[in-house]
Structure formats: C-alpha cells, structure tokens
C-alpha cells in the first residue's frame, strides 16, 4: 500500500474512533463552613434562555446523578418558567420535593479553536502495452489545505446548601471537544466530571438501587410464598442393581416426599418397553443390557419430579 494512502487510512480510523469525544478540566473550591455537608436531593438548574438546550443539559445531569445512585430533579420540570414565583412559592416547591441542594450550571464562554491540516497529494500511475506501443496514465489526489475547528465551552457551577443559603461548592470548568463533538458531548463530559468530583469529595448521599418488591410487606411475602406449590422430591432404591438375565429387581420409592402436600402418582419407565405404577414394584429384565430406569412422581397439585438410576443386566449362560 502506498505510504501516503496508509497514513490517510490510519488518520481516518483514528478520527472515527474519536468521534464525538470531549474532555473536561475543572477546579473546585469547597466551603470550609460546610465541609461535612452531604446532599441527598439536588435540584439541577441551567439558566439558559434556549428551552431546548436547558432541558437537554438538565436531563443529562439528572441522568448522571441517577446512574450514581443519587436523586436529582430538573428545575424545568419542577419549576416550569410559565409564571413568576414568589420566594415563598419557591421554598414550598423545594420543601415538597425534599430538595436540600441546588446545583446551578452557568455558561461563561463558548469558542472554537482551529488547526490547519497541511495540503498533501499522492499520484498513482499505470502502464499498459498495446501491440508495440506503451501507454502510461496517471492521476493525482490532493488532501488537506483546510482548517479543523474544535468546540470549547467554560462553565461556572455552584452547589447551594438550602439550609444555610450558602454556596457549599464552587467549580470552574473548561470542556474541549474534537472536531466531531457537538453540544451533547460537551455537556455529558461536564456532567460526568462534576458528579465524579462530588463523589470523590464525599458530598453526596448515594443510595443503593431499591428492590422492586420494596412495597411488599413481610406478611404479604410470607403469604405469597405459602401460595406457591413446592415440587416433590423423587428418589428410589433398586435391589439388586446388577445381575444376569433374567434379573428381578425390587424398586422402592417410599422415601420420596412432598414438602407441602401428598404424592398422588408414581410412574415407572423401565426402558425395556415396559412401564409400571406404585410406590413399590417388582420388575424382571429378561435381556442383558444397561437400563436407565426413570421414576416420575406427581403431587396433589400436579407438580412433577423425575429421577433415574442405571440397572446393569449381564448375559446368562443360556444366552
């Protein structure tokens, strides 16, 4: 492969691999007066005039908090900007939703940086012989000669403590993306970094994922367990297990039991073309061979259990 084509191909692979990547760098300051404060329910506020971007950013942060086991709610959903709210109304909403912290993510600046991709070219040619004449053709491809633009955005994030009214945590951040990054990539990178730092500084009360049966009382669980029929336990003995044909064997399944009921049926399959019924039964194997005898028991509610054992019958002198 031509070296220039190889370089271009590798560049393309790297570009595709890095599609939509962003990186966030942050600096944090923690209020020493609220050093031990931890938050359980956070209201996420992104004061954008563009409702679409605001919703997108708040949803990204709420999702990131939730994936870490932290409860968070969007201000756009909780306090929709359809009217003016009094201070008392706002406090009532926060109290109703048990909010103890408000995270405000404010956009400070947005810009693009650029990098020039140098111009390069590659020429390919071919020669063909027609009769006594040699014909040569070639073509040239050019690459580069343009700028690639990279998005950058800086935010200032403040976490307010509802109880004291003070800023508990202040963050200054810069997020940079590659040439393929969009705003969602930038916001996701910021949310991931912010939540990660809050976890590291032990400012969040993370809760384990709740069980789906958390609303079922112990009594209801016990009743539900009692209503489920348990399967019977099948077992049997065979005497003898080996011998020459014809071999008479006593099969005894009296040790089989049903934990929550009775056994109504014992069904035997001797695997020599014969079957039988009963807790104890005699059967004679007339020909030599290995027989995987199968017992199936059925309880009074129709639950079944099956067990097998091998019987080895050898040839008799007469055979």
pLDDT digits (tens, 9 = 90+) for 25-40: 999 999 999 989 999 9
Question: What is the pLDDT of the chain when averaged over all its residues?
Answer: 84
Region 233-246 average pLDDT: 92
Same domain (yes/no): 31, 81: yes
CA distance 43 to 100: 8
pLDDT of 214 higher than 90? no
Task: Count Cβ atoms within 10 A of the Cβ of residue 126 and give its class: 0-12 exposed, 13-18 middle, 19 or more buried.
Answer: exposed
Same domain (yes/no): 167, 61: yes
Same domain (yes/no): 142, 175: no
pLDDT of 305 higher than 80? yes
Same domain (yes/no): 137, 274: no
Classified as helix, coil or strand, 280 is strand
**pLDDT value of position 126:** 77
**pLDDT value of position 227:** 52
Same domain (yes/no): 155, 100: yes
**pLDDT value of position 318:** 53
CA distance 244 to 286: 9
Domain count, the chain: 3
**pLDDT value of position 310:** 87
Same domain (yes/no): 143, 245: no
Contact 24/187 with Cβ under 8 angstroms?
Answer: no
Where in the sequence is the domain holding 122, given as residue range(s)?
A: 113-148
pLDDT band at 147 (very low <50, low <70, confident <90, very high): confident
Q: Which of 85, 93, 105 has its CA nearest to residue 41?
A: 93
Contact 284/215 with Cβ under 8 angstroms?
Answer: no
Q: Cis peptide before 246, with omega less than 30 degrees from 0?
A: yes
Query: Would residue 225 count as lying in a domain?
Result: no
Which CATH number belongs to the domain containing residue 165 in this structure? 3.40.50
């Amino acid at each position: 492969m031509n070296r220039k084509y190889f370089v271009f191909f590798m560049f393309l692979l790297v570009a595709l691999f890095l599609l939509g990547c962003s990186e966030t760098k942050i600096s944090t300051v923690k209020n020493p007066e609220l050093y031990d404060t931890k938050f359980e329910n956070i209201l996420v506020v992104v004061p954008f005039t563009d409702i679409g971007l605001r919703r997108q950013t708040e949803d990204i942060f709420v999702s990131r908090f939730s994936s870490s086991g932290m409860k968070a709610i969007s201000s756009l959903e909780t306090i929709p900007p359809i009217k003016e709210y009094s201070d008392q109304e706002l406090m009532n909403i926060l109290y109703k939703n048990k909010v103890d912290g408000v995270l405000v993510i404010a956009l400070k600046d947005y810009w693009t940086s650029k990098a020039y991709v140098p111009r390069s070219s590659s020429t390919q040619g071919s020669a063909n012989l027609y009769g006594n004449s040699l014909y040569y053709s070639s073509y040239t491809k050019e690459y580069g000669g343009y700028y690639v633009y990279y998005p950058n955005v800086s935010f200032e994030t403040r976490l307010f403590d509802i109880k004291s009214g003070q800023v508990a945590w202040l963050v200054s951040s810069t997020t940079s993306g590659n040439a393929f990054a969009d705003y969602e990539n930038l916001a996701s990178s910021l949310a991931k970094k912010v939540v990660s730092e809050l976890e590291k500084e032990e400012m969040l009360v993370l809760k384990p994922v709740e069980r789906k049966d958390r609303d079922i009382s112990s009594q209801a669980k016990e009743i539900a367990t009692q209503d489920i029929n348990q399967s019977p336990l099948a077992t049997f003995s065979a005497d003898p297990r080996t011998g020459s044909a014809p071999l008479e064997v006593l099969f005894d399944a009296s040790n089989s039991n049903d934990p929550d009921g009775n056994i109504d049926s014992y069904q035997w399959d001797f695997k020599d073309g014969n079957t039988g019924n009963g807790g104890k039964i005699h059967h004679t194997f007339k020909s030599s061979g290995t027989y995987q005898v199968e017992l199936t028991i059925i309880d009074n509610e129709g639950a079944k259990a099956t067990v097998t054992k091998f019987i080895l019958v050898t040839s008799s002198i007469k055979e």
